[in-house]
Structure 1
Amino acid sequence: MNTATAQQHFQQWLADINHACGEFDGAALGDAFSGEIRPRQLGALRFSHVSSSHARLLRTPREVQRSSEHKYFAVFQLKGMANMAQDDAREVLMPGDILLIDSARPSDFTFGDASQQISLILPHDRVDQLLRFTPVEIGRKIPAGSPVALLAQQMLLSSTQLDEVSLAESEAVIDALISLMRPALCGSDSNPDPHERIFRKSLALIETHIADEALCPEMIARDIGVSMRGLYRVFAKKGLVIAQYIKNRRLDICAETLRNPQSTLKLSALGYTWGFSNSSYFTTAFKQRFGVSPGEYRKRYS
C-alpha cells in the first residue's frame, strides 16, 4: 500500500471511529497502516471491535470540547499491542489488559502491529453512581491474568456474542462489569480528605434513608455534624446539588423497580414507597428524568 492509499484508508477509518466513539484526530504511521472498526449495540451495551496497525489516535482539547456526551471507554486489549496515555498515566496494553479512559480529558493512543481491542462505552453517571463517586484512577492498567481482568473480559466477550438481549439485561451487564472492576479502578481510600469523608458519609446516609420522606439536606447535615453551607460545598465539588441527587436517586430506584418483571408494586404506591409524598409531583419528576411517564416506562419492559 502506497502512502496516498494508506492516508485515504486512514481517513475513512478515522471517520468511522468518530461516528462510533466521538471526536478524534490522528495519523497513519507509515504505509503499513490498516484499520477497521465494527460498532454494535445490544440494548444499553455500546461497544466496538477496533482493529488497527501503525496508527495514532489523538483526543485533544478541541475534540473534547466538540463532544457533548461525557462517558468512559473501557478498553479491552485482545491481540497485539497498544500504547495509551491520559493525563500523567502511560500504559502499554498487551492481550488481556484492560484500561479505563475518560472522554472528558485529552488522550493519546498509538497502535502497534495487528492490534485488536473492544472499546466499551460506560455512561459517566452510571460509573460515578456505582462507584459511589470514589475517585477513579484513569489510565491505570488492569493487568492480564489478574482475577478482575479475567472475569471482566470473560463477561464482556460472552455478552458480545449474544444475538439479542433486553435493555434490562444489558444494563445489568454494565452494572456488573463496573462493580467487578471497582477494586482496580478506585485508588486507596484509607485516608480520604475531610471533604471526601463528609461526601461518603452523606451518600451512605442517603442510601440508608432513601425511602424516608423526611430525608433532606438539613437532616443529613444535622446527622453528620456539618453546616448546610459546608454540605452544599462538598457536593458542589462533585458537580452535584444534594437535593437533586436525592431526587434522582429515588427516581432511579423507581425505574429499577419498573424494569423488574417480578415487581407487583402498583404505580399509585411506587412514588410513596420511595419518599415522594405527592403522586403528581412524582409523575412529573419521573417524566422529566426519563422522558416518559412511569406507566409508559413499565410497558417498555413488560
Structure 2
Amino acid sequence: MNSTISVDLSGAHAFRDFAQEWRARMGETFALASYSRATVGSFRARSRGFRLRDVMFNRFESAAALRTTGPRAGADDHVRLWIVHRGTWRFAEPGGAEHTVPAGRFLTQTGHLSHFATTPGHTVQVLVLPAAEILRGEGTAASGPADSPEVRLLTAHATMVSRVLDGLGPAGIDAARETLLELARAALRGGLDDVEPRLAPALAQAARDLADRRLTDPALSPAALARKLNVSVRTLQRAFASEGQSPGAYIRDRRLEEARRALTAPHRRMTVSEIAARWQFADSGHFARAFRSRYGRTPSEYAALAASGTDAAQLKM
C-alpha cells in the first residue's frame, strides 16, 4: 500500500475528519492511538506525509497541545524517529520510562508507547520504519541534533518522496524506500556512506534547501554547503551532476531569480545596485551580464518592461 496524505483542518469536526483521512490513507499498520477529550475538542492541525509499503512519514503541525490516553492496539515491530522542530514532545513507555524531546532534537523509540503529549504550537516530523531493517543489532535508543547532516538528508529525501510518490513506478518506489532506510540508519549511526549512488537525490535536495535559506549570505558556496552536510565537495558535485546541474549554478540561478523578483516588486525601493549587492553579485556590471544571459535583458530594461505591464511570460523569454 502506497499513499499520500495532505490535510489542513480546524473546526468542530476537525479531529473526526483527520482520523477518517488517516485511516483511509495509512491503514491499520499505522493506526492512530486514542486521544484525550481535550485534544479532540481543540484539534487544529496540518498533516503532510505518506505511506510507502512498511514505512510512514508525516510532518505534523498543531497550534493546540496533543495528548493520547493510551497506546494503539496491535503488535509493534517498528522504530519511530521523532524530529522536533517546535515545541516539546514527551513520550512514556510501558513500565514508566519517559523521554522528553525539545525543539532541535530527535529521538528514536521502539516497541509500544503508553502515551505521548506535546506542548501547544508544535511541529514534528515522524518516520516509522521496520525495526528489523533499521536496528540490525545496534542499540534501540538514539538521540541527537535535528540539524545534523544525516537528519537533514533524511528529511529532505522524505519530503521529496511525499511530493512525487503518486507518480512513481515500482522501481522508483523500491529506490525511494531503500534510500529512506539507508538514511535513517545513517542518522542513528551519525554517519553515512557518501558514495552510495541512491543518496545523490537526497543530498542534492538537502543542499538546495540549505542554499535557499542562505542566498543573501556572502559565505554561501558549494564548499560551505559540503561542510554543512559533512561530505566532500566532489561528492556534492556528483549529486548535482546526476540532475544535470552544478551546486554553483544552482546558487547563481536562485540568486538571479530572487533578484528578478525584487526588480518587479510593487513599490520597489531598492536600486539596481542595491539589489545586486543584496543577492551577492560582485558589482552592477557583473549582475547586468549575468541577468542578461539568463533573461535576455538588462535589469533596468526588465524592470521598465515589467512596470509597463508586459506579460510575465514574455519577460522570462
Taking structure 1 as the reference length, the TM-score comes to 0.46
Taking structure 2 as the reference length, the TM-score comes to 0.44
Structure of higher CA gyration radius:
2
